[in-house]
Amino acid sequence: MAAPISNIESESLLTRQTLGIIMGGGAGTRLFPLTKDRAKPAVPLAGKYRLVDIPISNCINSGLQQVYVLTQYNSTSLNRHIARTYKFDTFTQGFVEILAAQQTSDGTAWYQGTADAVRQNLRNFLSGNYEYFLILSGDQLYRMDFRKLMASHLEAKADITIATIPVDAERASSFGIMETDKNNKISNFVEKPKDPAVLAKLAIPEEAMIELGLPLDQPAFQANMGIYVFNRKVLLEALDNTYADFGKHIIPAAISKYCVQAFPFQGYWEDIGTIRSFFEANLDLCSVVPQYDFFDSQAPIYTHARFLPATKINGGVIRQTLLSDGCILSEAVIERAILGIRTVVEAGSSIRNCIIMGADYYAGAENAPSDSPPPGIGKGCKIEHAIIDKNVHIGDNVVITPKDKPDDFDSPDGMYYIRDGIVVLPKGAVVPSGTWI
């Protein structure tokens, strides 16, 4: 019997022979208006990070330092963030680079899906001496040691490995669901099954649920996390067609032809694809014991280092709140909120269940636009269940709440939007004093 693959061996393969490919997503319409002026991976997270920092940090913490990020929409801020943040030693071959959709002699079309995005960039991927390709999503919150994923891939002698996570019946219809044997080899894959009879056949067997430590009181299903390992030759063969997506097309077609393995993952994982999921995942970080831990010193999350002053609090009440660098708070009541960098809140304001993304500049800064007021929240404001994007100026005595409003609404002047019952103010919005939203 062959000895199991060690983490040292799998880390060596990740470092030398594996290329990370992070999918930047399309237009990100479900995260609009947060994606109005930026790519989905560039959306701020937890006050000081960007969504893309999660998969990149997972790669770096696993020893993988050669990563491409594929984008085609609003990639300027994402490109700037990556260029400022991920700079490797001159004596290493590490890099994190953007590959934006472009017209070439091979084609002029934009990415039609995840598989098409990889296909259009194969000439870049194949130029390196990579034997394995780790394909990741750019809009998920999780922490994974890819050395374990690689070790599982190698031990099973798999052609393709898919990371899976258990979900209940209610969520199963939103994912690609797979059926596996006792060795985790995938025998069936159905993308977003709606038929209850089909779904019932895909349920995880009771023995496997016991092994995974899952409760037996309700059925569970193995959902596709959008994390794949492909062998070089197999990726070339699997993309030798016009299929657009991995989940819808490539994986179902590959099951009968290749050894496709599942890698069961049991940690916290959230697909941040909608305003509601973004809102809830962020505010959960304010809990006493959040489901996702940014304080893990063994696997830190990296981001752009800023030289900002410490946050200053001039009185007030603050509960279950994440405060980023450079904030100025004066006699405000802040409960269950995330305050991004350079957030300014004036006296008498209350903020509850909110994400305030902060600002790129202070009043009077050289890079501050001369034709707009400084960003911040004025005096006597009441804001609840809202997402305030960057560089938003809110005047005095403003009320922002989704109460008694439809779950989805676009204001005629573009000042605010309501998505999933959450008020969202887009980047750079100006709300005059006395406004009631």
Range 304-327 average pLDDT: 96
Residue 241 sits in the same domain as residue 389: no
Residue 226 sits in the same domain as residue 79: yes
The three-state secondary structure class of 329 is strand
Asked whether residue 1 carries a pLDDT value surpassing 50, the answer given is no
Q: Distances from the Cα of 322 to the Cαs of 45, 236, 336, 360, in angstroms?
A: 11, 45, 8, 18
> For residue 76, what pLDDT is reported?
85
Tell me the CATH number at 405. Answer: 2.160.10.10
> Of 269, 284, 299, at which residue does a domain stop?
284
Residue 29 within a domain:
yes
Give me the helix-helix angle, 146-155 and 7-17, nearest 10°. Answer: 100
Residue 330 sits in the same domain as residue 272: no
DSSP bridge partners of 68: 21, 97
Tally the C-alpha atoms within 13 A of residue 38's C-alpha that lie toward its C-beta: 21
Residue 303 within a domain:
no
The three-state secondary structure class of 78 is helix
| pLDDT, tens digit (0-9, with 9 covering 90-100), for 374-411 | 899 999 999 999 999 999 999 999 999 999 999 999 99
Residue 277 sits in the same domain as residue 329: no
> For residue 214, what pLDDT is reported?
84
Q: Work out the number of other CB atoms within 10 angstroms of the CB of residue 112.
A: 15
Q: In the chain, what is the straight-line distance between the N-terminal and C-terminal CA atoms, in Å?
A: 67
- With contact defined as beta carbons under 8 Å apart, do 157 and 259 qualify? yes
Residue 301 within a domain:
no
Owning domain of residue 87: 7-284
Residue 251 sits in the same domain as residue 380: no
| pLDDT, tens digit (0-9, with 9 covering 90-100), for 3-20 | 555 666 656 666 679 999
Give this prediction's pTM.
0.92
Range 208-218 average pLDDT: 83
Q: Work out the number of other CB atoms within 10 angstroms of the CB of residue 34.
A: 26
Residue 131 within a domain:
yes
> For residue 250, what pLDDT is reported?
94
Residue 324 sits in the same domain as residue 412: yes
Count H helices and E strands in the chain, helices first.
Answer: 12, 25
Tell me the CATH number at 269. Answer: 3.90.550.10
> For residue 345, what pLDDT is reported?
97
- With contact defined as beta carbons under 8 Å apart, do 113 and 245 qualify? yes
> For residue 13, what pLDDT is reported?
63
Q: Distances from the Cα of 300 to the Cαs of 137, 142, 157, 164, in angstroms?
A: 19, 12, 31, 23
- With contact defined as beta carbons under 8 Å apart, do 379 and 396 qualify? yes
Considering the chain, what percentage of its residues have pLDDT values greater than 90?
A: 69
- According to DSSP, residue 357 is labeled -
Residue 266 within a domain:
yes
Residue 257 sits in the same domain as residue 321: no
Residue 437 within a domain:
no
| pLDDT, tens digit (0-9, with 9 covering 90-100), for 412-436 | 999 999 999 999 999 999 999 999 9
Residue 280 sits in the same domain as residue 320: no
Residue 177 within a domain:
yes
Count structural domains, the chain.
Answer: 2
Range 302-329 average pLDDT: 96
The most confident of the ranges 7-16, 119-128, 135-144, 198-207 is 135-144
Residue 191 sits in the same domain as residue 73: yes
Range 168-189 average pLDDT: 90
Residue 241 sits in the same domain as residue 163: yes
Closest alpha carbon to 172 in 201, 149, 144, 143: 201
> For residue 113, what pLDDT is reported?
83
Residue 323 sits in the same domain as residue 280: no
| pLDDT, tens digit (0-9, with 9 covering 90-100), for 79-134 | 899 999 999 888 788 899 988 876 555 655 666 788 999 999 999 999 888 999 99
Residue 280 sits in the same domain as residue 328: no
Average pLDDT for the chain: 90
Residue 345 within a domain:
yes
- According to DSSP, residue 398 is labeled -
